[in-house]
Chain A
């Protein structure tokens, strides 16, 4: 028997441990550069699956597989292993912090915890260590290393893991591979990166590519941004020296506090940053995805810019014109203006609650909008960039107006459905051109509209294409555009630009100032982006110093990816054509989508959390901000999940960040009477300063590139370093020791509280309320609240801190579960399931055992079915909670089955019951 084990393969450990447990121990050959472990049996058969090898050793011990061991092995191969490989890759190859990597595993760890807790034994299957324990332990060990990296709420798992790590075969296996992390890294780096496994995704990669499979299929993702960074590096001597120097500079290293000016205007020779966030459409309440996609991301960046003392203007407002508003106003019996007033206030309230720091939150229904939009239009007209053409449109003579698509109904030309809408048929789902509807009806008066040719104006995009491309080339060379923004723009250009209609037959809009078109308004896509300019004009009469000043102003546009073409192609074309030295976007920052639990946010289905409801959850605005920014869909879609919110709140905010800051402050209060003690830095302290300074530098680099979510990870790493530092140095013990120990306790406490003060500033863009609380508790004077280039001693010995109290509160599972139920969401996923897979209703009492054909039973059951049917209909009509209805429906089906059995029919199995 020959066992070959490449020490770098993630599967090496379990094979070695199982071999160690085999009756006749096998000496492994280490160092074979194979893809994974393999066992060559005397018969010549080669086992290439690590789990099968482990199973083989256990079979040799006489331990047959059971349902449970097989189940764990299968789970390990299909669920755990892909996630572990992805986590290791993230950490070792891409150098992301441990907790990031662990995040990928969280639902799997929870599954293990639950199983262990429920089974009541100390092992995964049966009463002793089985192949299941070895395989799962071997898979987890490389990521966890020791049980303390497991979240403390996973108590049972922690003790299982510790016991396994101490079990002799496992301990020996781990000792055989002392260099494992390094080898592992080399091994992983040679392979294609695992597919991204977003939080909670149970998809994943077949990581167990056997050696038979695709050896050497080395494809690497081209230019994935993490590649440049490399792993977390230990600070060099030079780093340490620089950090010590920075520390010694004290508050002098901080930028002077910002002098707020109103209005904010560009200043020559300074960095002038103009930030816009996509204008939310007025009659939709924004959901969490909208909030993280634009306003919250833009706010975080704006706050960062202000902290850097850059001259920053952040504007946004509601987009109010258009058909949708008109329709909605009609429905609600209001005038469009009344409707907009109402919803504008609602939006403003939501953003205030989220602490969005707009310099101005305006709206598009202003005189400035009319003036500026008409000016741009006139300039385009004068320069020959507008075309005139005829469109065929439906006109309702009795209402005296042209009908927008959503004001028409009729018969679908494809499937003859009688109530097709003007833009789409609800039955066959095909897109419809309103003029193609058969028997069209006006939705308002039910009259028959007629097809009428009408004149419209078009922006001649093909004519502007050359200018656009020249501009894009320049701006792309110098600016930070997210990859998706560049990609979407390129796709648009590749498909070729066509003239776009800029006028609409509506009344609720900016009037077109041209004879022959005076009864029309501008189409919203032309009009709305001009809102950025008009809202600024509403803020200051000197708006042109921002918007006609590309030499001095840097413009950042924040949006979700669906909005990219309007900001990268269409609006720049309007401004380039108008040719008035407009400030065009320098940095276009687009996010991907945020999903809700397993699906999408949906107002109509009542699924998801909407801006106005976040407040009602009782969860503080800063926790929402933190979690949304932590999840920010940078680079790929991400998903909001309640269980994850709980985990991040309790692990990152409470246990990591809050715990560190609170302890640092408490030590000052408890041990030093509230006064920062004297500090005498040892090499160990200096290393901590260097580590923190490296993280701060990284934070700045990422923030400058608007990689907000990654920058937040740096902040969390700093407090993690801080926690470790306190843990290792144990000031609470040393304070009770001799003079030297007490001095050491002083130094550690002093350094820690200064790190906490730095965190106060670093957190400001993300969680301004928490930041202010830290600064108030530590009594940091305003001139020392600035954000420096590294860690500096802002709270010198003798500084008196205030009252220190906890910053965060624990979220309880019941609380979060209640919220999840209230706001809807997908099925409970494996990680959160408190119960085994939904068992069907308890088996009916054995009445059905009576012989088929019993007339009394049949009659009884028929009555019961009828009664139950009525109940279900009543519940449905009363719109009772879905779960309740479902339970009754299940009962009804059960009864029907019994009836069928009693009648001697074969019961129909309800098909398609398990819909998603």
Chain B
């Protein structure tokens, strides 16, 4: 199984994507290896979602957190889903549930928050990468909406960086499968 992108690594990817100069110091805390951003003043920030939102604000790209109250809440919701459910060590059964959830949600949407690309898409992409790499062609077809979305995000400028490109086949092979 492919290794999950680690929290701190993920934040460095995000920094580069946001065009931040880098230089932030990260650590991890506790058994779950929660990322911690060390700051000069105060105790630092803890948690993937918290630090990611902080970086977005630092880069003055607030639109990535949503514009209206509704969008903001939706982004928040998927970020929370990302940190509570898609956490790297999921079992096969959990993975299946996640893919099913997302597939259902993305049925009528381009991005997780509807029609705008947000931080939720970015972190969900990093969080799912190790899962998607291992999917069979048949599974990718089964979670068609997730595949479409994932393929779209991995080609979004600056997102993928050094992560491997996950290949999706355009024509369906298993039309009778479900």
Contacts and interface: CB of A to CB of B under 8 A. Distances in A.
Interface string B22-60: 000101111110101010101111111110011001000
Contacts of B105: 212
Contacts of B2: none
A51 interface: yes
B163 interface: no
A231 B129 CA distance: 44
Interface in A677-725: none
Interface stretch (B79-87, B133-141, B146-154, B170-178): B79-87
Interface in A73-106: 73-75, 77-78
B45 A71 contact: yes
A838 B49 contact: no
Contacts of B70: 41, 43, 45, 56
B76 interface: yes
Contacts of A65: 53, 72, 76
A862 to B, nearest CB: 25
Nearest to A837: B36
A49 interface: yes
Nearest to A830: B30
A51 B76 contact: yes
Interface string A164-203: 0000000000000000000000000000000000000111
A900 to B, nearest CB: 15
B169 interface: no
A60 B68 CA distance: 10
B161 interface: no
Contact of A59 (B28, B72, B84): B72
Interface in A31-55: 41, 43, 45, 47-49, 51-53, 55
Contacts of B43: 836-837
A368 interface: no
Given A71-B46, A78-B32, A837 B38 contact: yes
A206 interface: yes
Contacts of B29: 830, 837
A552 interface: no
Given A55-B73, A56-B70, A67 B45 contact: yes
B74 interface: yes
B77 interface: yes
A838 to B, nearest CB: 7
Contacts of B30: 202, 829-830
A839 interface: yes
Interface residues of A, number: 43
A52 B76 CA distance: 6
A199 to B, nearest CB: 13
B50 A70 contact: yes
B104 interface: yes
B30 to A, nearest CB: 5
Contact of A48 (B31, B49, B77, B97): B77
B85 A74 contact: no
A78 B29 CA distance: 13
Contact of A210 (B44, B50, B81): B81
Given A67-B45, A74-B47, A836-B42, A52 B87 contact: no
A77 B54 contact: no
Contact of B81 (A49, A203, A829): A49
Contacts of B80: 49, 51-52, 73-74, 77, 208
B31 A70 contact: no
A70 B97 CA distance: 26
A210 B76 CA distance: 14
Given A201-B31, A836-B43, A914-B27, A47 B73 contact: yes
Nearest to B71: A45
B101 interface: yes
A891 to B, nearest CB: 17
A912 interface: no
A469 B89 CA distance: 40
A52 B77 contact: yes
A77 B27 CA distance: 21
B69 interface: yes
B87 to A, nearest CB: 7
Contacts of B44: 836-837, 839
Nearest to A209: B85
B77 A49 contact: yes
A78 B31 CA distance: 12
A840 interface: yes
A598 B33 CA distance: 14
B25 A840 contact: yes
Interface string B78-103: 00110111010000000001100100
Contacts of B83: 74, 77-78
B38 A213 contact: no
Contacts of B42: 836
Contact of A840 (B38, B57, B74): B38
A70 B74 contact: no
B146 to A, nearest CB: 13
B45 A56 contact: no
A214 interface: yes
Contacts of A49: 76-77, 80-81
Nearest to B38: A839
Contacts of A837: 27, 29, 36, 38, 43-44, 46
A213 B72 contact: no
Interface string A213-248: 110010000000000000000000000000000000
B84 A206 contact: yes
A395 to B, nearest CB: 48
Contacts of B76: 49, 51-52, 55, 65, 70, 73
Contacts of A71: 45-47, 50
Contact of B53 (A52, A67, A829): A67
B84 A208 contact: yes
Interface in A536-564: none
A67 B55 CA distance: 10
A75 B47 CA distance: 7
A206 B93 CA distance: 14
Nearest to A60: B69
Interface in A827-877: 829-830, 836-840, 843
A124 to B, nearest CB: 13
B129 to A, nearest CB: 19
A53 B49 CA distance: 17
Contacts of B57: 67
Contacts of B85: 206, 208-210, 213
A66 B113 CA distance: 20
A52 B104 CA distance: 19
A313 to B, nearest CB: 44
B1 to A, nearest CB: 20
A186 to B, nearest CB: 24
Contacts of B81: 49, 210
Kindly name the residue among B29, B77, B97 whose own CB sees the greatest number of chain A CB atoms within 10 A: B77
A215 to B, nearest CB: 10
B47 to A, nearest CB: 4
Contacts of A67: 45, 50, 53-54, 57
Contacts of A77: 80, 83-84
A56 B57 CA distance: 19
Given A56-B69, A77-B84, A206-B85, A45 B74 contact: yes
Contacts of A598: 31
A47 B34 CA distance: 26
A77 B49 CA distance: 11
Contacts of A48: 77
Nearest to A43: B70
6 contacts: A52-B77, A70-B47, A74-B48, A201-B31, A203-B31, A208-B84
Given A52-B74, A217-B97, A914-B27, 14 more contacts: A45-B70, A56-B73, A67-B50, A67-B53, A70-B50, A70-B76, A74-B46, A74-B48, A77-B80, A203-B31, A208-B80, A209-B85, A836-B43, A840-B38
Top 5 nearest A-B pairs (CB, nearest first) are A836-B43, A52-B77, A59-B69, A56-B73, A74-B47
